[in-house]
Amino acid sequence: MKRQKNNNRVIKIVVPVIICLVAALVVAGYFLFRVNNISYEGNRHYSDEEMNNYIFGTDTPNAVVYNIFGKKNKQIPFIQKYEVETIWPDKMNVTIYEKAVVGYINYMGCNMYFDKDGIVVESSSKLYSGVPQIEGLKFTSIVLGSKLDAGDDSVFSDILELTQAFEKYNLDIDKVYFDSSYNVTLYMNEVKIILGNAADITDRLYALKRMENKIANLKGTLYLSDYNGSESSVIFKKEN
């Protein structure tokens, strides 16, 4: 009986001590492994703060907790995947791999974003800077995850070439229109730009970049379809 009382006394002493030690370790771990520095690489659609909210939520992440419970990639619009590298004890590097979006089509009130191969990769009600709207092409169906049937698949190569040139020359194009012969018309603010066919389009877009400041606050139509390198081949018709 006396031994049992001693055992009970030991348990009453040891258990609270263990609980206190565990609690102390948890508290110490919370502060020691609290991530104070998160760097992002590869994100263009979203800011660092937006990516932070998508991946970690609004609370400051804990490195231990994340590596045990949170490593599974979350589904984020326009993001193919992301990789989180933990630099112990309190830093993380996040590498973002975005889906290669080149344009979008407005379909039944929704923006259907597609990649360079014409595959619809995202559906969203939002508009994203740097991604132009594509008009004029006829599609038999538009299904998320499926390729757009545009009749001539080479048009997607033309769209890719256009968007790459937009990025190269830092042109903010709102809309790209293809007519039935696949001639290209661009829309930039209040200016309509007639480019003509999509072959060898780089020189015409370079000319557009050089004229960008001159037409920035104007309304009218800029004709670049007959551009041959001379200023006389460029025509701008101003509208009131």
Ordered by start, the domain boundaries in the chain are 1-32, 34-98, 101-238
- Is the distance from CB of 100 to CB of 115 less than 8 angstroms? yes
User: Which class would CATH give 34-98?
Assistant: alpha beta
- For residue 89, give both structure tokens: 């004890």
* 101-238 to CATH, choices 1.10.760.10, 3.40.50.720, 3.40.50.11690, 3.30.420.40: 3.40.50.11690
For the chain, the residue count is 240
pTM score, whole prediction: 0.75
Q: Is residue 28 predicted with pLDDT exceeding 70?
A: no
The pLDDT value given to residue 15:
63
The pLDDT value given to residue 8:
59
- Split at pLDDT 50, 70, 90, the class of 19 is low
The pLDDT value given to residue 126:
87
The pLDDT value given to residue 13:
63
The pLDDT value given to residue 87:
95
- Is the distance from CB of 92 to CB of 38 less than 8 angstroms? yes
